[in-house]
Structure 1
Amino acid sequence: MQSRAVMASSTLPAPHHHHHHRRSRASASNFLRFRSRRPLLSPPSLRGFRLRATAAALTVEPDTQVKQDSLELDLLACPICYEPLTRKGPSGLNLPAIYRSGFKCLKCNKSFSSKDVYLDLTITSGTKEYNEFKPTRTELFRSPIVSFLYERGWRQNFNRSGFPGPDEEFNMAQEYFKPVAGGLLVDVSCGSGLFSRKFAKSGSYSAVIALDFSENMLRQCFEFIKQDETLSTINLALVRADISRLPFASCSVDAIHAGAALHCWPSPSNAVAEISRVLRSGGVFVATTFLSSPLNNPFSSEALRPLRQFFGQENNSYNYFTEKEIEDLCKSCGLINYTSKVQRSFIMFSAQKP
């Protein structure tokens, strides 16, 4: 008989095993509730100091036990209707708990399972006949070859365009994320989890969700996680989702990171709008990308901007923007406090939800 005890196994589950569900002590209609503990923002005189938050445990607690220093919210949502998902299985945003859980939208009557090693929260999850092809730049990263090579040479080439390297980029992002230390971080377009793993191991966040549309990138991320025992019990979850249809409730996420991703998105405006929707008040968005330059776009100058709008994307499968365009995009999606750091074609920018 399967035990009713909920345990976070230190051994990651192997893919392709059948899911095991236990009968929840609460009603099956109870929503997944995530408690994010965040310290109060430092007063202006202390903002120059480095802050470090201790990761808080992910728990499911009765509404009557809400504490003043906790914020309870419905996190995972149906990608179709955005209603909260019900959950059957052990609680927690860690790999073993997610793997052994089933998720369902009662309104759409659609079920989502942790297929392979990730939770598939795309609209097409579970389809058997329907197939949909994305733009070339999206399909490229779904390739198992590219997924395997991403951290084995592919990412290192970014240095030629001014990217300072993963370690320095991580430190820069951590500075931007100081105001939301201790909260929930989602690493969108995470690829093979290069930064997801760094954020999870930092202990600065109560939980980290590594999110990508590529199935093979998420599988590669899982392989890297298995090689690091320190990640086996950390609140780190793998979720497959569309950046333009994020499966989270509005105002539910503290921090969102997008490393070298914006130029790959089919519709950056839809993606940033979704990011703005799911960020809670005070939440921080940090991203890196390649700026439009003569090296990657022949119409990059302001004088040739009209030509770039008509012909630029025909000559390149990626979306490259000027810094002014990126700032304008963030503002148009309701984000404030835009700031950036530029080095040749590299840009890291940050914006905040009011």
Structure 2
Amino acid sequence: MANLAMASSTYSSFHPFQQIQFPKYPYLSYTSQIRQRLHVSSVRFPSSTIRASSAIIQEPGLSTQQTQAVEQEADIFACAICYESLIRKGPSGLNLSAIYRSGFKCERCNKTYSSKDIYLDLTLTAGLREYTETKPVGTELFRSPLVSFLYERGWRQNFNRRGFPGPDEEFKMAQEYFNTAEGGVLVDVSCGSGLFSRKFAKSGAYAAVIALDFSENMLRQSYDFIKKDSNLLGSNLALVRADVSRLPFSSGSVDAVHAGAALHCWPSPSNAVAEITRILRSSGIFVGTTFLRYNSSAPWIVRSFRERTLQNYNYLTEEEIKDLCTSCGLTNYSSKVQQSFIMFSAQKP
């Protein structure tokens, strides 16, 4: 409750709209000119108007221009059950303040979603009181408060022993792949404590960055880092809790997806990559890093040993990762390998 009170007092000082200009996403600035969509019909309620085709609730007092901004932006979030675009009631923007003050609802499933503490919970189990679900060990480990706290305080730094070049260099490498996605929306799946989410947001290259993770404690750690930087607090950087195998976005709504040191932790990499393919726009880019089970130059005795010892995570080979991306419909696959580190990229046709 203390965290919630602190978050509420911090958010109340934000301006709900961010005045930035991105040609591909003008709705992220309420001063932008938005092309109106065709509206089918309206159903009137005492205090609001729901437009059937826009998936948005118009708040009293909002100007037409502000309403258009909310309408366009709301389409990116979708119900985790049916993928129907969510109806949003609240201020525009993909920033912490706007999302914290907004409520979301799926008309088809009659399920509501809202910000819990400092993140928007868009999991299948959001809002359930009795039912609980336990994930595989690899997933549950990162839900631990201790691991979440340690992730950027020594845990991630140990990756360089396995060939990871370090966060700054990995960020530069990823940006080279993402150059065609500049000005678009980037989703950092399995973001952990937001190490790369913050870097992407600070770069100013994207209309919005969505830091997404299944771990509640990782998202809380991410917020702890964000609140120390006033520029990040006011940027279009959102925190969302979701399952990578059930991404809560409309199909073809995202320009770029990043997954740093994540694929080996996913219970089903094939389900996750299929979901990433679904949410990417045509020509959208997926960039990921992970630990290889072994690389192509490893001697047979090393391969045999690692096959037997690496059982708790989905460590793949270079060939398996390429095959996985290709089988999920992605093209233009490329990769860079250094010891057990691999950065790979693929594009949606």
Counterpart in the other structure of 1:153: 154
1:336 aligns with 2:328: no
Query: Is residue 13–residue 96 contact of structure 1 (8 Å, CA) maintained in 2?
Result: no
Identity across matched positions, percent: 68
1:190-209 counterparts in 2 under 5 A? Answer: 190-209=191-210
What secondary structure, in the 3-state scheme, does the structure 1 residue paired with 2:170 have? Answer: helix
Aligned equivalents of 2:119, 2:259: Cα separation in 1: 19
1:348 aligns with 2:343: yes
Q: 2:6 aligns with which of 11, 14, 22?
A: 14
Q: Residues 15 and 278 (structure 1 numbering): CA distance in 2 closer, same or farther, change over 3 Å?
A: same
Query: Which aligned segments of 4 or more residues in structure 1 are displaced greater than 4 angstroms?
Result: 59-63
CA apart distance, 1:118: 0.2
Query: Is residue 36–residue 184 contact of structure 1 (8 Å, CA) maintained in 2?
Result: no
Counterpart in the other structure of 2:171: 170
1:322 aligns with 2:317: yes
Q: Residues 56 and 346 (structure 1 numbering): CA distance in 2 closer, same or farther, change over 3 Å?
A: farther
Q: Residues 153 and 188 (structure 1 numbering): CA distance in 2 closer, same or farther, change over 3 Å?
A: same
Query: Is residue 112–residue 125 contact of structure 1 (8 Å, CA) maintained in 2?
Result: yes
Q: Residues 209 and 13 (structure 1 numbering): CA distance in 2 closer, same or farther, change over 3 Å?
A: farther
Aligned equivalents of 1:269, 1:276: Cα separation in 2: 11
CA apart distance, 1:232: 1.3
Query: Is residue 163–residue 338 contact of structure 2 (8 Å, CA) maintained in 1?
Result: yes
Structure 1 spans left out of the alignment, 5+ residues: 1-11, 21-34, 39-54
Q: Residues 243 and 299 (structure 1 numbering): CA distance in 2 closer, same or farther, change over 3 Å?
A: farther
Counterpart in the other structure of 1:242: 243
Counterpart in the other structure of 1:119: 120
Q: Which has the higher helix share?
A: 2
Counterpart in the other structure of 1:184: 185
Aligned equivalents of 1:169, 1:62: Cα separation in 2: 36
Counterpart in the other structure of 2:141: 140
Counterpart in the other structure of 2:36: 64
Code of the aligned partner of 1:122: T
Ranked by relative contact order (alpha carbons within 8 Å, sequence separation 6 or more), the top structure is 1
Q: Residues 106 and 300 (structure 1 numbering): CA distance in 2 closer, same or farther, change over 3 Å?
A: farther
How does the TM-score come out when normalised to structure 2?
Answer: 0.80
Code of the aligned partner of 1:161: R
Deviations 1:172-215 (A, max 9, x none): 00000001111100000000000000000000000000000000
CA apart distance, 1:57: 6.1
Aligned equivalents of 1:343, 1:57: Cα separation in 2: 41
1:5-44 counterparts in 2 under 5 A? Answer: 14-15=6-7, 37-38=23-24
Query: Is residue 83–residue 105 contact of structure 1 (8 Å, CA) maintained in 2?
Result: yes
1:219-238 counterparts in 2 under 5 A? Answer: 219-238=220-239
CA apart distance, 1:122: 0.1
Query: Is residue 181–residue 285 contact of structure 2 (8 Å, CA) maintained in 1?
Result: yes
Structure 2 spans left out of the alignment, 5+ residues: 13-20, 39-68
CA apart distance, 1:293: 2.3
CA apart distance, 1:115: 0.6
CA apart distance, 1:268: 0.2
Code of the aligned partner of 2:148: S
What secondary structure, in the 3-state scheme, does the structure 2 residue paired with 1:96 have? Answer: helix
